[in-house]
Structure 1
Amino acid sequence: MLANTTNDVSAFTAESFDFVVVGGGTAGLAVASRLSEDPNISVGVLEAGPDLSDDPNVASAGGWLVTAYSPSYAWGFETVPQLYAEQKKINLPRGRLFGGCSAMNAMMWTRASRPEYNALAELGNNGWDFESLLPYFKKAQSHSPQEQDIFPGTGVLTPHQGERGPIKTSFNTWYSSLIAPFIESLKALSFQINTDPNDGDLTGLSNIARAADGEKGTRQHSGVAYLQSTAPRKNLVVLTNAHATNIVLDREGAGSTARGVEFLVNNVKYTVTAKKEVILSAGAYGSPRLLELSGIGMPSILGKYGIETIVDLPVGENLQDHLMVSLNFLLTPESQANLKVIPISVDIEDVAGKDAKSTSTGGPFLFSPLRKVVPENNHARLIELLNEYLSSDDISLMERAQFNLQKKWLEDPYCTAAEAEVMFANLPGAAGLPLPDGSMSLWLPIAHLHPASHGYVHITSSDPLAKPEIDHKYLSRDYDLQALLQIVRFVQKIVKTGALGKIVTGSALPPPDVQTDEQLATWIRGNIATVFHPVGSTPMAPKAIGGVVDSTLKVYGTTNLRVVDAGILPLQLGATPMSTVYAIAEKAADMIKAGI
């Protein structure tokens, strides 16, 4: 257990903190650490899970395949049956441990393109454009350049990367022998390597950094990076195994004021007092749940469970996620014989990170606008679908603003907002996945990055321990299904082109009998999965169009309650969200300190 973490609930509640942070995860520990840099500011953090920093699967960069999918590290959330995905309940991994999702995810470190952050400002959030956020991206990061022959430019620290931040980022030291033909095939289709994907243009093929210490091969989650890397601070305390149940609100005056947080430890209720602010960093599912339990939300939801509405806001709506489909391709016997394979179990139990730096995630990912991967007539059809949605009276003002942005991006031939993602999974075990007969396959998961389908997360009871109802409404708008279908067709084209075309012999997933677009659409509906990147459930936007927090991240109708996590992003990003969540936390800390 780290020096700043404790299980002593009596000592924790005996103190009144200036700031109480709910959620010791990616954003929560970052903002808590930055606030506590001032010795005159006291910060208390409530984390529902345990401190597992010494767990080999958490500590090792190669352990994420265990942590990301094991219930031992997660909340156990799942969707309701998805109407447009064969009524499947889809598992939604969310970290329930010190460090949150940063302690159990795949550690991908990517930054979306400039237009997507500029869109935050266009939605009415001054100071959230790309140039304004760039210093905070850099402030969180300490990148170690590593030159690799197949990825020119990776040995140089660019002006857009951080070099003194708490989160160490690095590249893999081992690469599959299938990466070279993958790159060659994409080059044959006019895609190039992006040597500086952090400069505001993520599009192209780039080597993906991960939040890992390249020398030690250990995971860099928010706890070890922001807390362990500094001397213990008496003014910062993280109470683990503490489940927040209610925000204590004082309704006197112009707006509701948060006075503290009620929480459970071993089913015993306690209260911690906040003298200045309460900061919610419980994630895109957890923060809406606590707001609703505390009387902030829609009366139609709160009233069902006997909760008085203190502030009427569309909490939990606008929920968005990235959808993934896994594609597997058969390889020639010769390419399988030459395939470099590293066993999954290498040293993970022996010395955390000793060889895990070679068995982690990372490798070449392609991010692209749809216009570069979709035939012209299909691209036009996607624009038509957005126009159909915009002509409907059934969409919210928030969705109208988002669809207008998305349509603008699709129509702009020079826009760099990525909507299609093709992942070369440089995974432990191989470059791909073993088939049932033991042969190796090329695994190329794909994702659609700007879904038109939006869902919700809401409480199901006044019981604070009850799981929320989560309905992402995956594929409820045909735009998403058509986009995924076209990205699959594009990957099928990649593996028939150039170097890959010489070693790929057929398709395992989708099965060979899936040929027509109708068959492929049916197969996609039954085989989608989440990349677990939920955003948007407490959106930062004007209240008039459905915002829950303002541009300072304060909840509307309150004087001192903020949300600092991925839920504040009003629209999905064409990238993995972790580096953006750190930037949000860094910016939030500066805004809070400026207002003290």
Structure 2
Amino acid sequence: MEPFDYVIVGAGPAGCVLANRLTEDPAVRVALVEAGPDRNARKAIVRIPLAMVTFMAPALAFLGGPKFMSWFETEPEPGLQGRSIALPRGKGTGGSSNVNGQIFMRGQREDFDGWRDGGCPGWGFDDLLPYFRKLERFELLAEPRSGNHIRFGKRPLSEQIDAAFHGTDGPLNIAPLRSVNPMAHAYLEAAQLAGHELNPDFNGASQNGVGLYTFTQKNGQRVTAEGAYLDPVRHRSNLTIIPDTQVTKVRFEGQTATGVAWKRGGETGTIAARETILATGAFVSPQLLMLSGVGKARELARHGIPLVRDLPGVGENLQDHLDVTLEYRAKSTAPYGISWRALPRNVLHVLDWIIRKRGLFSSTTGEGGGFISTDPKSDRPDIQLFFCTGRANTQAASGFTGHGFLMHICQLRPGSIGRVALKSADPDERPSILYNFFRGESTMDTLRAGIRLARKIMAQKPFAPHLDAEVDPGPEVESDGALDAFIRQSVGTLFHPVGTCAMGQGPEAVVDPQTLRVHGVNGLRVVDASIMPTIVSANTVAATYCLAEKGADLIKQERTARQRAA
């Protein structure tokens, strides 16, 4: 059989974008290989936004969530007194967009300009804005009436959006909440009383302030990478989707990649391709490179893996967002929850979902947001707030019964640098992951300040009718030492790993920013969140979609130039 032009490994957001864009040319043959199941976008547990709280709850495994999950775990973290952190990733076509919180947040101009100035020309904010606009259908501009139900200041929300920052005809629908819990409005009022300005659009000219998040949803239902990018083109004859198939290594002839080896159940085989593109994320992409002989020579020799290219940066530079959660018990039933008092309303929520795709089931509960600086010398936000209108929490849920709310405090640029390494040459064995939290330049100062800032918001008058008590960590946890102990005991990540195949030109760089080719080998590229040289100051999926759109353009431009030269 004639080799494919491209074999894409991984059908998460980046892989789905690449499959769509590269097959726009009918002369290009593409194979998309995914370790998990296919055709997930219309399954109820995926499309119902609220169902995302069930994916990591063992008691709700009977709903089918585990088959969409792939679990990793850190090594015992020295900075957390030896505690390990569970690290879930999505599995199946759609990848983590099947299971995430659906918040669509780009990051700060400084993030991307930092990429550009750090050795990645062409990756500044102004370079990437056309791709952010290309990928999105921003519903508040495409359908201004979709935001009429949201009270935001004194003007309709749709009138406060700057069209220069958004697209209206892209494949990915970005929508406001279909139903806003009253607690989200209380949060916005309280935050203003605490001194924070309203921001109608965190993806506009400025990220600073408090507001309501926008989501990868349409008509109240989750929009996944599969639904947005893959389903509309899966009929193309030049696209072959190969699900439930684990790629075990990239095959090389000399220093040229010739395709991949795979296994499925008891079967094994190979796929020949002129180019191989890894899009398996910040844990698996470096693992596959190392299993294939691309990585730090000494480490590969330790596992008996023949060296193809000594590339010491593979698996290094691991970054993620740090997150702690304050939990509050409510004395009102305004927050979402299960109780006898709320039973009639919850029955109505079920009917509202069935009939109108609104209400509780159209929410992830993470409705209110904020980007705030804890540094009085800087107005660049270093923390992100997530105000959740219920107690269900993917990181550490106390339960679904009763009524309460949560405030997440996320440190946007923690400063910790970790690594991903092989435990063995067995592709079935999960890699060794170490974040090095609170070591090196990573301190607790920002999270500690963020907790105090969040508590100031919660102490404002709009919460008085609702707030009964802070139950975790509790009001007695107030001193620096007590807060540090709480952080060390409870901190987790927001499941935003990046950086382990970083693009750049230095000795630790893995990928060429001009082509996304792996340095020193032929026919191999990486296009996923692992190529980010530094983490963005927001949820990472939006930037992943964007870099894949730009990556697809770079690949297509290179192919066109090659054809013209021939």
**Relative to structure 1, is the Cα distance of residues 527 and 355 closer, same or farther in structure 2, using a 3 angstrom cutoff?**
same
* 2:21 equivalent in structure 1: 34
Q: Give the secondary structure class of the aligned counterpart of 1:246.
A: strand
- Give the letter aligned to residue 142 of structure 1: R
* CA–CA distance in structure 2, aligned partners of residues 93 and 78 of structure 1: 8
Do structure 1's residue 590 and structure 2's residue 553 form an aligned pair? yes
CA contact (8 A) 2:390 2:406 kept: no
Alignment partner of 1:555 out of 500, 507, 518: 518
Do structure 1's residue 206 and structure 2's residue 206 form an aligned pair? no
CA-to-aligned-CA distance 1:540-580 (integer Å, 9 cap, x gap) = 12233x11111121111022211110011111111111111
Q: Give the secondary structure class of the aligned counterpart of 1:547.
A: coil
Q: Give the secondary structure class of the aligned counterpart of 1:480.
A: coil
* 2:262 equivalent in structure 1: 263
* 1:386 equivalent in structure 2: none
* CA–CA distance in structure 1, aligned partners of residues 207 and 173 of structure 2: 20
* 1:163 equivalent in structure 2: 168
Segments of 5+ residues of structure 2 without an aligned counterpart are 58-64, 141-146, 336-340, 560-566
Alignment partner of 2:198 out of 193, 198, 208: 193
Query: Structure 2-normalised TM-score?
Result: 0.88
**Relative to structure 1, is the Cα distance of residues 566 and 437 closer, same or farther in structure 2, using a 3 angstrom cutoff?**
closer
* 2:405 equivalent in structure 1: 442
Alignment partner of 1:218 out of 216, 221, 236: 221
**Relative to structure 1, is the Cα distance of residues 76 and 455 closer, same or farther in structure 2, using a 3 angstrom cutoff?**
same
Do structure 1's residue 250 and structure 2's residue 237 form an aligned pair? no
Q: CA deviation at 1:260?
A: 0.6
CA contact (8 A) 2:74 2:432 kept: yes
Q: Give the secondary structure class of the aligned counterpart of 1:233.
A: coil
CA contact (8 A) 2:390 2:404 kept: no
Q: Give the secondary structure class of the aligned counterpart of 2:78.
A: coil
Q: CA deviation at 1:192?
A: 1.1
Q: Sequence identity, in percent? A: 30
* CA–CA distance in structure 2, aligned partners of residues 566 and 200 of structure 1: 24
* CA–CA distance in structure 1, aligned partners of residues 359 and 334 of structure 2: 25
**Relative to structure 1, is the Cα distance of residues 335 and 280 closer, same or farther in structure 2, using a 3 angstrom cutoff?**
closer
Q: Give the secondary structure class of the aligned counterpart of 1:558.
A: coil
Do structure 1's residue 149 and structure 2's residue 151 form an aligned pair? yes
* CA–CA distance in structure 2, aligned partners of residues 436 and 118 of structure 1: 42
* 2:301 equivalent in structure 1: 303
CA-to-aligned-CA distance 1:86-117 (integer Å, 9 cap, x gap) = 32221111011111011111111011111111
1:33-432 equivalent positions in 2, closer than 5 A: 33-51=20-38, 52-67=40-55, 70-145=65-140, 146-147=147-148, 148-150=150-152, 152=155, 154-156=157-159, 158-213=163-218, 215=219, 217-230=220-233, 232-251=235-254, 256-275=255-274, 277-313=275-311, 314-332=313-331, 342=346, 346=350, 358-371=362-375, 413-414=378-379, 416=380, 418-426=381-389
* 2:495 equivalent in structure 1: 532
* 1:541 equivalent in structure 2: 504
* CA–CA distance in structure 1, aligned partners of residues 459 and 344 of structure 2: 22
CA-to-aligned-CA distance 1:157-212 (integer Å, 9 cap, x gap) = 52211211111111112222222221122112221111232234212112211111
* CA–CA distance in structure 2, aligned partners of residues 226 and 538 of structure 1: 24
CA contact (8 A) 2:389 2:405 kept: no
CA contact (8 A) 2:179 2:359 kept: no
Q: CA deviation at 1:513?
A: 3.4
**Relative to structure 1, is the Cα distance of residues 452 and 428 closer, same or farther in structure 2, using a 3 angstrom cutoff?**
closer
CA-to-aligned-CA distance 1:495-540 (integer Å, 9 cap, x gap) = 1234235653432111243232111111111111221000111111
**Relative to structure 1, is the Cα distance of residues 36 and 568 closer, same or farther in structure 2, using a 3 angstrom cutoff?**
same
* CA–CA distance in structure 2, aligned partners of residues 343 and 123 of structure 1: 54
* CA–CA distance in structure 2, aligned partners of residues 434 and 35 of structure 1: 41
Query: Structure 1-normalised TM-score?
Result: 0.83
Instruction: Give the aligned length.
Output: 532
Q: CA deviation at 1:437?
A: 11
Segments of 5+ residues of structure 1 without an aligned counterpart are 1-13, 377-410
- Give the letter aligned to residue 569 of structure 1: M
CA RMSD, Structure 1 to Structure 2 (Å): 2.8
Q: Give the secondary structure class of the aligned counterpart of 1:424.
A: strand
Q: Give the secondary structure class of the aligned counterpart of 1:105.
A: coil
